[in-house]
Structure 1
Amino acid sequence: MERTSMQKIMEITGGRLLAGDPSVTVTGMDIDSRTVKPGDLFVAIVGERVDAHRFVPQVIESGVRGVLITEEDACPEGTDACIVLVPDAVKAMQQIGKWYLDAIDVRRVGVTGSVGKTTTRDMIYHILKEKYRTGSASKNHNSLIGMPLAITQFDSSMEVVVLEEGMGGAGDIHLLSDLARPEVAVITNVGISHLEILGSRENIRKAKLEIVDFFRESDTLVINADNDMLDADRIREEKGNFRIVTGGAEGPWDYQVRNVEDFGEEGIRFTICHGSEQAEIRLRIPGKHNALNAALAIGAGAAMGVTLEEAKRGLEKMTLLTGKRMLFRKGNGMTVLDDSYNAAPASMKAAVDTLMATKASRHIAILGRMGELGPDAPRFHAEVGEYAAEAGVDLLIAVSEEAKPIYEGASGTGKGETLWFATNEDVIARLPEILREGDAILTKASNTARLGQVADAIVGTENQ
């Protein structure tokens, strides 16, 4: 964040000075007392479990000079830090983020979708870097709190920034799009994540399409046209007359994916066709589904003036990163495909495909619960189990009561071996007798399932 006075922060947020000198400047923004730096603006958020107001004295002691609070009695007596009272801390962060994007005068690309947001965002970033000074969040900051934090990482040396837009419910992407005002937006797909919250895929579709709520006619939406909920003509009819670019493998789209080859952990090779142009791309990111994500990223890059050849160069510079992307962990002849951060039926099936493309003597899938799927969750879990068994998984292990239908779906096919355990601890206790040298093991579930514990234990088991 470029140097900004607390006086300006007060003007942006409508805040009231409680203490200190408003000419004090800040060069960043944080909500975490453990990571906030002396030059940052500390925003005290009242969370479900923690009220950050109790850390205000601590952050001031560490050197922080600018603080936003919503509780007047949280202002320490006699402090020389600049303390500003605002009515709503989260809204204040959004006001700061929106003002700051305009102040540094950057072009913006937004990305949303049920799955694939972070990977596609990173692809767009690498593509745009071939032509522009480009910024992208260093973390998965895609929420009403996270996006303002991402924005304050940028500066005026950047020409373009790429922002990810997540949601917890209807209306969130509308607010994020008001903040970001992207001129190019990407919807990777409309799946069944958040089905429990929104009730139907149609409602999920409406929520994702909020990303174009502030579009002008000159703006561009890039869609996965293979997805049954993303029809370009219907979108135009409902949302207005702006440019729509299509990508996919199953139709005569603007950016067509062809000839996908899956090399497991070594990545994929595929061809992108656009009119009379085509490019063969070798992507060092595993998962054949990422060819489609790449097509969408190329379409977004083209809308910003990046050529197909430049996009190819950018994509081929990408490497596998940790965090929200599958991590390959090796040791003593075993390969662990740790994808335990998040899960939806589509991403579960894609991860199984990547497992099966990985060279191994046995392919083992350890799968846990998928969240927010609503009353049909047992059916969706059973379909994943059936898919894994039909794909040729040698051993499927389902973990938790919620994931038991995965075990039942796989068992019902009569293919492969299947096991079910109630807890992660139960699985971990059996790992030494289950695993053997030469195995490739996938661990995948929603983050709340903590299946990463099993992945960690497998790495430890390899040394026993």
Structure 2
Amino acid sequence: MSIEDLHNLFKKCSGVSTDSRNTGKDELFFSLKGPNFNGNKYAKKAIESGAKYAVVDEKEFAIDERYILVKNCLESLQELSNYHRNKLKVKVIGITGSNGKTTSKELINSVLKTNFKTSYTTGNLNNHIGVPLTLLKITSETEIAIIEMGANHIGEIALLSEICNPDFGYITNFGKAHLEGFGSEEGVIKGKKELYDYIKRKKGLIFQNNDDHKQIKCVGDYQNVFCFGKSNGDIKYLVKSVNPEIEIKVNETLINSSLFGDHNVENIMAAVAIGKYFKIDLEKIKIGIEDYISSNNRSQIIKKGSNKIMLDAYNANPSSMYAAIKFFENFSEKNKILILGDMFELGKDSKKYHQEIAEYCRLIKDTKIFLVGELFCNTTRFKEFNYSENIDNLISKGDLSKIKKSCLFIKGSRGLKLEKLMDNI
């Protein structure tokens, strides 16, 4: 079946599903495969659950006209989403980076939706399956789509760029994330830069942070850019405060955010710059930024009893960890407590990075420090720190329940589920 014919069937459906357990009425089901499952075996269940059609790639499962036989279900899903995106007159902004992708995407959407009908990546649908599913949610009413693209290997951003065909690109930063897959920080830069390489070939527009020398180097002499920076750019700004919430001055307008930390200043300014590029009034941009409340354990400030808790436990790597520690180190509060969890996917140098973080923490004054996870526990231990192999071990010690009138910063990789500590503070 041609992609055009498949798209005509898609238009008759209420949506797309890849999980037969929650397939809705009149949806188009794709029988994707994984290391331990074959989606073709669940196509019949999807039809019985209400799917209008099921796309399969093994002939034996195409038992009647409701089953659409293709060569490869994943490739067909990707091709369908690309065809759908290109059929619609929608501007697409592609976003990637080592840290801050999701926060930037949500801030950009919060700003753009003050003036446009937008569609954007929800949850963590930012991979070779999630990006197509996001594109297929774009409707004829959508004016701007903000698509987040994640990767942990070279070549993945290139593929996602081909699928979503962005008109605009923004890379939040290049850091020491997913080193296990990329191999090195140079590999991270090469992999993330694939978005800018695509934009350049297409002659699209790049949003550039003029305070990031790595970004400037990647953009090179490409001319179709819109820049922001503290002293140089199309949009210039002044940081008034990051203690703890951020306050930024753009022209004569003060913008306050519920986000904390220096690392979020650039996330906010990217949204401001993109809003200005699309000719949104600065007062509307201010509303978009100030209305945004972070969730999902990202840059959240939570008041619990007599304690103030800064929770940033969705992801962690050496770059984001150092940024968080430096912010908290300069934070003007008494009774400070820093709880750091393991950083995952760092490859062969994982122990070295955890050791360096621990040694850096020894320089912090007037702060009680807890290190959580097997990776931190396998480093050289310092007597002034509290070590726990996992959160259950930390909770069982009973130290958290004794914390009163303190300011806590919690940071670590998602797999540790550090947010569970909240119930015990």
TM-score (norm 2): 0.89
Shift of residue 278 of structure 1?
A: 4.8
> 1:246 aligned to 227, 240, 260, which one?
227
1:39 matched to 2:26? The reply is yes
> 1:337 aligned to 282, 300, 310, which one?
310
Task: Provide the secondary structure at the position in 1 that maps to 2:220.
Answer: helix
Q: 1:291 to 1:433 in 2, by over 3 A?
A: closer
> 1:299 aligned to 259, 263, 273, which one?
273
Contact 1:356 1:393 in 2 (8 A): no
Residue 421 of structure 1: aligned partner: 388
Coordinate RMSD, CA, aligned: 2.9
Residue 88 of structure 1: aligned partner: 72
Q: 1:32 to 1:295 in 2, by over 3 A?
A: same
1:119 matched to 2:119? The reply is no
1:141 matched to 2:125? The reply is yes
Contact 1:185 1:300 in 2 (8 A): no
Q: 1:317 to 1:22 in 2, by over 3 A?
A: closer
Shift of residue 431 of structure 1?
A: 3.1
CA distance in 1, matches of 2:194, 2:264: 24
Shift of residue 163 of structure 1?
A: 0.7
Residue 281 of structure 1: aligned partner: 255
CA distance in 2, matches of 1:217, 1:179: 13
CA distance in 1, matches of 2:11, 2:228: 49
Q: 1:49 to 1:389 in 2, by over 3 A?
A: farther
Deviation string 1:74-128 (CA, Å, 9 cap, x unpaired) is 34x5x6x711122222211111111111222211111111101111111111221
Residue 354 of structure 2: aligned partner: 381
1:117-196 aligned at under 5 Å gives the runs: 117-196=101-180
CA distance in 1, matches of 2:92, 2:367: 46
Contact 2:30 2:73 in 1 (8 A): yes
Contact 1:343 1:371 in 2 (8 A): yes
Residue 259 of structure 1: aligned partner: 239
1:445-460 aligned at under 5 Å gives the runs: 445-448=412-415, 450-452=416-418, 455-459=419-423
Task: Provide the secondary structure at the position in 2 that maps to 1:245.
Answer: strand
Deviation string 1:390-448 (CA, Å, 9 cap, x unpaired) is 4446221112231237774xx4xx9xx41112233211211356632223333322223
CA distance in 2, matches of 1:395, 1:225: 36
CA distance in 2, matches of 1:244, 1:91: 32
CA distance in 2, matches of 1:171, 1:13: 27
1:311 matched to 2:285? The reply is yes
Contact 1:24 1:82 in 2 (8 A): no
Residue 212 of structure 2: aligned partner: 227
Contact 1:24 1:65 in 2 (8 A): no
Identity %: 26
Shift of residue 370 of structure 1?
A: 1.1
1:66-77 aligned at under 5 Å gives the runs: 66-75=53-62, 77=63
Q: 1:49 to 1:368 in 2, by over 3 A?
A: farther
CA distance in 1, matches of 2:206, 2:282: 18
Contact 2:391 2:421 in 1 (8 A): no
Task: Provide the secondary structure at the position in 2 that maps to 1:231.
Answer: helix
Q: 1:297 to 1:252 in 2, by over 3 A?
A: same
Shift of residue 11 of structure 1?
A: 1.9
Task: Provide the secondary structure at the position in 2 that maps to 1:338.
Answer: strand
1:47-86 aligned at under 5 Å gives the runs: 47-75=34-62, 77=63, 82-86=66-70
Q: 1:257 to 1:22 in 2, by over 3 A?
A: closer
Shift of residue 186 of structure 1?
A: 0.6
Q: 1:213 to 1:90 in 2, by over 3 A?
A: farther
TM-score (norm 1): 0.82
Shift of residue 190 of structure 1?
A: 0.8
Shift of residue 152 of structure 1?
A: 1.8
Contact 2:61 2:67 in 1 (8 A): no
Task: Provide the secondary structure at the position in 2 that maps to 1:284.
Answer: strand
Task: Provide the secondary structure at the position in 2 that maps to 1:285.
Answer: strand
Shift of residue 198 of structure 1?
A: 1.9
Structure 1: state its 5+ residue gaps.
1-9, 16-20
CA distance in 1, matches of 2:107, 2:248: 15
Contact 1:28 1:40 in 2 (8 A): yes
Q: 1:429 to 1:255 in 2, by over 3 A?
A: same
1:422-437 aligned at under 5 Å gives the runs: 422-432=389-399, 435-437=402-404
Contact 1:14 1:86 in 2 (8 A): no
Shift of residue 358 of structure 1?
A: 7.2
| Letter aligned with residue 154 of structure 1 | I
Residue 5 of structure 1: aligned partner: none
Shift of residue 330 of structure 1?
A: 4.2
CA distance in 2, matches of 1:111, 1:235: 15
CA distance in 2, matches of 1:382, 1:121: 32
CA distance in 1, matches of 2:36, 2:3: 28
Structure 2: state its 5+ residue gaps.
none
Q: 1:87 to 1:144 in 2, by over 3 A?
A: same
1:314-325 aligned at under 5 Å gives the runs: 314-320=288-294, 322-323=295-296, 325=298
CA distance in 2, matches of 1:205, 1:102: 28
| Letter aligned with residue 370 of structure 1 | M
